[in-house]
Structure formats: structure tokens, C-alpha cells
Structure 1
Amino acid sequence: MLHTKAQTTILHLAAERGTVEDIELEEVLLEGYQGVKCVESGGPEPGVGCAGRGIITAINFLEEEGAYEDLDFVSYDVLGDVVCGGFAM
């Protein structure tokens, strides 16, 4: 999809900078095959934290930054074994 481009995750940058408020959408949104826009939320270290909270943080960031404007379709690829089990869409 991204032609082997590495993608920095929202949560990785948030951890480095201390908050998602210091991230620009352009830093995490990459355009891939046929103009498909891709974002990776990231997650906690294995066995630590709640992946669902990370996903919600990423979705809220994308909403606040206007990432969902002018899109025809949005698809989420979510792990089937979310650590906390408290995430539902």
C-alpha cells in the first residue's frame, strides 16, 4: 500500500513529545497506492497498557485534525486481541 515507506505512528510521536497536541497531521498521514491515505495508530509495549485507549487517542487526534474530511471511505484494521478488551466501535 505504501510502496515500502516506513510509517511513524501517532502514539510513538506522542510518547516522544509528551502529547498528541504537538503532532502535525502531515507527520503521520502518508499517501500510498492510488492516493489511499494511511495512518498507523501504534500501541503500548506488548503486555503493557491498553491498545484500545491508544486507538481512541489516535481516532480523536484524526478527528481534531480534520483527517476525515473529503474522504469517500474509512477503514480500520484493528487487532483481534486488543489487550484490555474494552475497545468497541
Structure 2
Amino acid sequence: HRLILNTKAQQTVLHLAAERGTVEDLELTDVVQQGFGSILNVECGGPEPGVGCAGRGIITAINFLEEEGAYEGLDFVSYDVLG
């Protein structure tokens, strides 16, 4: 992730949704960053370790991306999941 974006951190879907009150208040441009080789990156986020379920963040992010049409026109999608 750091090598693709040339940065250490990216705002997460869950963090931005919490700041704004709901995921419905987000736009794709809020969460998608373009990196090396035009690779598009999204970080779903999750609860602090030991609190809650990481699956919640994954489901929320994927549903948001599907509803916003984020998968249209992509050649492939890769997920890096905890565990």
C-alpha cells in the first residue's frame, strides 16, 4: 500500500463515514486514491484491535463501492484482508 501510494496512510471508508455521520455522505472521490501505474486504492478500515468486528468494515466498504459503481471499467480487483 505504501509503495503504491508513496505515502503511509490513507483515510478509510469507516473513518470518513464516522466523521460525516454515515457512509451515504461519502463520494468515491473521498475514498479512492490513484497511485503508481494508475492503480486505484481504497482502505476500508475497521474497529480498534479487540473492539468490534473487522468484517463490518469490509462489508460496509464493499457495499459502498458497489453502490457507487466503483467496480465498473476495472480490469481486476484485489483484496488484502486481515487474518
Q: Which amino acid aligns with 2:30?
A: E
> Comparing both structures, which one devotes a greater share of its residues to helix?
2
Runs of 5+ consecutive residues of structure 1 not aligned to the other structure: 81-89
Question: Aligned partners of 1:5, 1:33: CA distance in 2, in Å?
Answer: 14
For the pair 1:10 / 2:9, whether they are aligned, the reply is no
Could you report, residue by residue, the CA deviation over 1:11-55 in whole angstroms, capped at 9, with x for unpaired residues? 001111111000111011000010000000000111111100110
Runs of 5+ consecutive residues of structure 2 not aligned to the other structure: none
Runs of 4+ in 1 over 4 A off after TM superposition: none
Name 2:62's counterpart in structure 1. 59
Q: Which amino acid aligns with 1:48?
A: V
The share of aligned pairs that are identical, in percent, is: 77
Q: Write out aligned runs for 1:41-56 (5 A).
A: 41-56=44-59
Question: Aligned partners of 1:36, 1:52: CA distance in 2, in Å?
Answer: 24
What TM-score results when the alignment is normalised by the length of structure 2? Answer: 0.92
What TM-score results when the alignment is normalised by the length of structure 1? Answer: 0.86
User: How large is the Cα RMSD of the aligned pairs?
Assistant: 1.0
1:33 to 23, 33, 36: 36
